Amino acid sequence: MSSGTGRVIARRSVILRALSLLTVGLFVALLAYGLISKAPDDTIDTSLGRAQAPPAPGFELPVLQLGDLGSPLDRRLAPALADGRVDLRELRGTPVALNFWASWCVPCRVEAPRLERGWKSARGRGVAVVGLNMQDVTEDARNFMREFGVSYLNVRDKSNDVALDWGVTAIPETFFVSRRGRVVAHVIGAISNAQLRGGVTAALRGRPLGALQGGERRGTR
């Protein structure tokens, strides 16, 4: 074999090794991107830990149950709900308690009566409770609401995309949003009566309360 041929082979070998390394690098980069892009966003809890109220991540979801809003929420929110969808931006001006749940979640069953009682008290103060049903079967979700007499507004996300944006890693979790659309409190796990009252007050005042540890929860699917 001539020296010229040897040099050509050597160059090809170097090029092949470089391409191989580049392919591996691209694969690793794509894998890392996939892991990061699917990971829950922890921005809310990080901000609350600094006594800051971050902007609530937006969403637009179909209404699962309109519920009995009552006065004055009915007059305020009815126009925004007329199209059968809820855009969080349309709720601006109304303090919101946003609860992530599913019918298969046992701790969600434990907290359901508390949320219903809290809702009946909070709506008179102009606070909306919004349930966000996720990773569930529609009829199972409706059976759950009938069983526990849930009368507040509920929306539905078949996936867990919104949950990831909000940093939800398990359910139930509840967030409290001020009139200005800022997250002021986050209860991780089944909410207690005291935490519900505290969250409602924080939403009304617009003052950060922080991220609080609640009761049991179940990992998202």
Spatial neighbors of 216 by CB under 8 A, at least 6 apart, are 106, 107, 110, 189, 190
Domain covering 43-219: architecture: 3-Layer(aba) Sandwich (3.40)
So what's the pLDDT on residue 42? 83
For residues 42-48, give the mean pLDDT.
92
Domain ranges of the chain: 1-39, 43-219
Asked whether residue 215 carries a pLDDT value surpassing 50, the answer given is yes
Does an H or E element contain 180, and which? none
CA 51 – CA 209 distance, rounded (Å): 7
Rounded distance, CA 204 to CA 200, Å? 6
Q: Is the pLDDT of residue 105 over 90?
A: yes
Residue 165 burial (C-beta neighbours within 10 Å; 0-12, 13-18, 19+): middle
Judge whether residue 23 has pLDDT over 80.
Answer: no
**Predicted pLDDT of residue 73:** 76
pLDDT digits (tens, 9 = 90+) for 122-155: 998 999 999 999 999 999 999 999 999 999 999 9
Q: Output 68 or 210, whichever has higher pLDDT.
A: 210
